[in-house]
Amino acid sequence: MAPSLSLFVYTLLVVGTAVAIILLSHFLGKRPLTDEKTIPYECGMDPLDTRKHRFSIKYYIVALLFVIFDVEIVFIYLWAISVRDMGLFGLLEMFIFVGILLVAFVYAWIKGGLTWES
């Protein structure tokens, strides 16, 4: 079979299994539940608010940095498998590319984007 077809069949198998397990436990599991049981567990306290969870800006900065570096890794992969044939030219090119990235990296470092404690 073609590689993509095998992959497709396997994907169907995995997704099918996952959905089947969830459905099975839905039909086999006990019910009904009391209302008390469905209250979120917060170590015995009654939850004060629902669905209003703020989060620290630092997570956002980490996500931004991640996007930058992750996209660049795709370029690095393509370069990595052909660097042997490209020789010195490919090497210099990658040094310039990584150099530009390092400027951004050092900037983020100095500005405190990589520091977690405030």
Contacts with other proteins by CB under 8 A lie at 1, 3-4, 6-7, 9-11, 13-15, 17-19, 21-22, 24-26, 28-31, 33, 35, 37-43, 47, 50-51, 53, 55-56, 58-59, 62-63, 65-66, 69-70, 73-74, 76-77, 80-84, 87-88, 90-91, 94-95, 98, 102, 105, 109, 114-117
The two tokens of residue 116 are 């977690």
Which phi and psi angles does 47 have, rounded to 5°?
-60, 140
What CA–CA distance (Å, rounded) separates 118 from 57?
Answer: 11
Measured over the CA atoms of residue 109, residue 113, residue 116 and residue 117, the dihedral's sign is positive
Shortest CB 29 distance to other proteins, Å = 4
Inter-residue contact 81 to 94 (CB < 8 Å)? no
Shortest CB 107 distance to other proteins, Å = 13
